[in-house]
Amino acid sequence: MLVGEGIGFLDRAGMFVNNPEQSSGHFYRLSRAGIAAAKTSAPAFGAVSGQESRTLLHPVIAEAVLGDFERGRYDEAIFSAFKRIEVETNRRAGLSNHGKKTFYDAIGKDKSLTLPPIDENEAQSLREAFAGCYGAFRNPASHRDVNDDPTQVMRILLMASALYALLETMPDSEATQ
């Protein structure tokens, strides 16, 4: 999926074109603009426009964060993204927890939310991925100003978006009863 999104981004940015030398399937090559950008180390690849953000982010995350992101309120955008994940995790698991405890109580082999088939080590890693990202990115954003680089913030928001999309693949607590 990420490769497809990357190809779509490069295609929309005019960096990729279909390769006419290939007779079947979808084969791409760099366009003249893509070659020129690659030779100049393409600063445009580091920045993501608001329109591209809407394409790359999960719609729920995009709705929650783009207003703040586009106004340069990066910490608020990060806080909002991880708040959406926490709220949705609680809703799906039928919990009302706060903070990292939400993920430890909700996600796992014998918990409300899981991705079958999964063994206990994978379940623990999944739990820790959610809790770790929440603790590393949401908590600092709620206590102090820490993020002033829009490219790095967009990377964090893309990670939150990926976690939200993964969360959506997990059955609701009502579906498991």
Instruction: Note the pLDDT tens digit of each residue in 8-41.
Output: 666 666 666 666 676 666 666 777 776 766 666 4
b/e map of 96-105 (b: 16 or more CB within 10 Å)? eeeebebbbb
pTM of the model as a whole = 0.67
Helices 59-70 + 74-93 axis angle, to 10: 160
Question: Helix or strand or coil: residue 37?
Answer: helix
Which of 78, 29, 76, 71 shows the shortest CA–CA distance to 50?
71
Element (H, E) at 18: strand 16-18
The domain segmentation of the chain, as residue ranges, is 2-45, 50-168
* Phi, psi values for residue 18, rounded to 5°: -60, 145
Average pLDDT, stretch 145-169? 88
Instruction: Note the pLDDT tens digit of each residue in 52-91.
Output: 666 789 999 999 999 998 888 899 999 999 999 999 999 9
